[in-house]
Structure 1
Amino acid sequence: MPDPHRNLFEGFTALLQSTACPYARLATTRFVPVPYSPKSPDFLIMFRKRQPWLADPGTDALIVAIHFSELGKTIDDHARLFRRLLNLVSDHEIAGNILTPGWQLQIHRTRVFATLFSPLYPARNPRSIQKGTYGYVMLQPEHSFHKLLPRNRLEEHQRVHIKHTIREAFDRSGKPYDALDRQPPTEAQKYVKPLHLGDPMIEWWKY
């Protein structure tokens, strides 16, 4: 019997191979082997078995796949399902003013940055998936950022320079960062990006 999830991560693999980020190919990326669906009885079981990876210093990202039919046809549909997923894996309702400086998603006491990628995004958007029929949520533990930008070994101007270099690489590739990423006051607004540069912030936490 053919594996229904055989091509589950082909879109994300293609993204890693083509991204302008110079560090993506060096990352240790792990995967939840079944896609997320609110109707799936297996997803949370599979996720909990792999949840300890987020606290493992050797893990840079844990990837969750979501079929495009589940994500929906609009960015609002995407935002609604994204919040539902984060509520599930963090085991609490995301509420309140999460735009408060210092707020960050936590999954089992591990601070995590979440990023949505989807075929809905146009090709010039860094969040665009160009292959396959799945979107992805990348859960990136805080220690992964510290490996790249260690506070104990780099001065602030060195950290800023590395970030600037990455953004310049995306600019040269024709997939510029959104302005909200260039001067980010908070974490949450970067989780789900608008479809086009200059579009309003996607307030996914309100859905």
Structure 2
Amino acid sequence: MTSMTRPTGAATSQPPPDRAPCLERFAPIRNGTHCIYAPSSRLWGGPAYDPALTAEENLAATLPVLCDFLDRARTDRLDGFVIELADRRFGADVPSLARSTHAVLRHLSDHDPAGEHPLDAEIETVSWCFSFGAEPIFVNTFAPCYPPAHSRYAFGSQSTYILLQPRHSFGRVLRPGETVLPPAVRQRIRDAYAGHDRGYDPHISSNPYEAWRIVRPLGAGDPEVRWWETPAVFP
């Protein structure tokens, strides 16, 4: 990815992004999840959430750091960027999480330095995935609304986390000649989740629409969460 023009955000003194305070709070999720690659992943975090600012102002401060992350992710072998919404209201239930997720991704889409604005495209298609700065990104959400028997369980955190994973980072765990994780590896990960009573809902996981997997429904068999159809306004 070419170097991006950075949106301006709040100028505050912050720790280096690889030691952002949100990463320490996210650690129980990273270490507790049953993905075999998660514990060794290299993450950056956004600036500390400032409750004196609006959620939109906090996101504005995050944008330049996210641009730096994407500029350096390939050469520094970075795997993900964590955005923390540090209040239970952002993910107290699935509708709140859907609104928060839409608000964050809408803000990023509207300020996309590459001008692709992915949320202006048709979302419920096989080809759609989120992007920022011309980098395709996989989006995961973790929130207090999810119970322990759920793959997006937040391990007791009262914050909501949005994890942005550049697609190219998945290539580092592939063997030569592979373009996707082999079925045996995917099954091993699914079995690990299921073995801890956090099995994936096959209705969602096997569906070709990536948008369905960004915010998971609460229960297996529940309808997909169409977060992009909710108001893009924080609860």
2:208 pairs with 173, 185, 195, which one? 185
Residue number in structure 2 paired with 1:28 = 42
Query: How far apart are 1:105 and its partner, in Å?
Result: 0.7
Change (3 A) 1:167 1:93: closer
- Aligned equivalents of 1:38 and 1:89: distance in 2? 15
Letter in 1 for 2:142: F
Change (3 A) 1:18 1:40: same
Query: How far apart are 1:180 and its partner, in Å?
Result: 3.3
1:139 pairs with 149, 153, 164, which one? 164
After TM superposition, list the pairs within 5 Å mapping 1:48-127 onto structure 2.
48-55=64-71, 56-57=73-74, 58-90=77-109, 91=111, 92=117, 94-127=119-152
Q: Deviations over 1:85-119 (max 9, x none)?
A: 00112224724531211111110111101111001
Query: How far apart are 1:45 and its partner, in Å?
Result: 2.4
Letter in 1 for 2:178: L
- Aligned residue pairs total 201
**Normalising by the residue count of structure 1, what TM-score does the alignment of the two structures yield?**
0.86
Residue number in structure 2 paired with 1:162 = 185
Other structure's SS at 1:193 match: coil
**Normalising by the residue count of structure 2, what TM-score does the alignment of the two structures yield?**
0.76
- Aligned equivalents of 2:229 and 2:48: distance in 1? 27
Contact 2:91 2:145 in 1 (8 A): no
Contact 2:205 2:213 in 1 (8 A): no
Query: How far apart are 1:10 and its partner, in Å?
Result: 4.3
Contact 1:35 1:67 in 2 (8 A): yes
- Aligned equivalents of 1:72 and 1:173: distance in 2? 23
- Aligned equivalents of 2:118 and 2:35: distance in 1? 32
Q: Unaligned 5+ residue runs, structure 2?
A: 1-13, 15-19, 112-116, 231-235
Letter in 1 for 2:78: T
Letter in 2 for 1:153: G
1:47 pairs with 63, 69, 76, which one? 63
Letter in 2 for 1:17: N
- Aligned equivalents of 1:44 and 1:7: distance in 2? 18
Query: How far apart are 1:11 and its partner, in Å?
Result: 4.1
Q: Deviations over 1:128-176 (max 9, x none)?
A: 11233211000000011222235x52277x6222111111111112110
